[in-house]
Amino acid sequence: MKPTAVDPLILTPAVFQQFYRQYAGQLCAYLTKSLRGDKAEAEGIVQEAFLKAWKKRADLRDTKAFRSWIYSIALNELRQRKRKLRPLTFEEIETPCARPSPEQHASARQELARVMTALDDLPDEQREAVLLVRMENMKFREAAKVLGVPENTVKTRVRRGLLKLAEDLGL
């Protein structure tokens, strides 16, 4: 018989801290991509998501589902904050690179701008699905839990999103 909820004593501060160390970095990277490079905002969402998760730890039904659960919480927080955020300009995006030539740097910035614009042009549902599956390497099943939709819906959103990206980028 499956338990209806995780005993809050099982999700002790030490276990929760272990989950934080395991998932906070990758969650922050995902959110930073979703926010077009705004790492400070992404870090704030990660902190808020983990705080909410701690407060609602009794709602977690299985510790094996922690990753999709924390991503769901963070995605909801992201959606709430996105409604209030101003759009970032391309100049505000940090682009990591290893000392390219000025020509390479300009070309890379142009290509990044094209990709970011194409991602921005996707409907929110497709962009979220593409980022979770392709950038975060989540299985369709796990992304479906995060997004709160059936697995086949995620597959459809990813497929349509990738087709639209390929079309917009001329690939």
Number of domain units in the chain: 2
- pTM, two decimal places: 0.57
What CATH number is attached to the domain comprising 54? 1.10.1740
Taking only the tens place, the pLDDT of each residue in 14-36 is 888 899 999 999 999 888 888 87
Using alpha carbons, select from 36, 112, 21 the residue that is nearest to residue 70: 21
In a domain, 6, yes or no: no
Q: Which structural domain, as residue segments, surrounds residue 23?
A: 13-82
In a domain, 111, yes or no: yes
pLDDT of residue 150: 94
In a domain, 1, yes or no: no
In a domain, 97, yes or no: no
Residues 72 and 118 in one domain: no
Alpha-helical segments (H) within the chain: 13-34, 39-55, 66-82, 102-121, 124-130, 140-147, 151-169
Residue 21 · residue 43 · CB < 8 Å: no
Residues 78 and 107 in one domain: no
pLDDT of residue 156: 93
In a domain, 8, yes or no: no
Helix (H, G, I), strand (E, B) or coil at 135: helix
Residues 25 and 76 in one domain: yes
What CATH number is attached to the domain comprising 110? 1.10.10.10
- Straight-line distance from the first to the last Cα atom of the chain, in angstroms, rounded to the nearest whole number: 51
Residue 11 · residue 60 · CB < 8 Å: yes
Residues 67 and 127 in one domain: no
Residues 78 and 23 in one domain: yes
| Radius of gyration (C-alpha) of the chain in whole angstroms | 18
In a domain, 26, yes or no: yes
Distance CA 14, CA 12 (A): 5
In a domain, 91, yes or no: no
Taking only the tens place, the pLDDT of each residue in 55-69 is 888 888 788 888 989
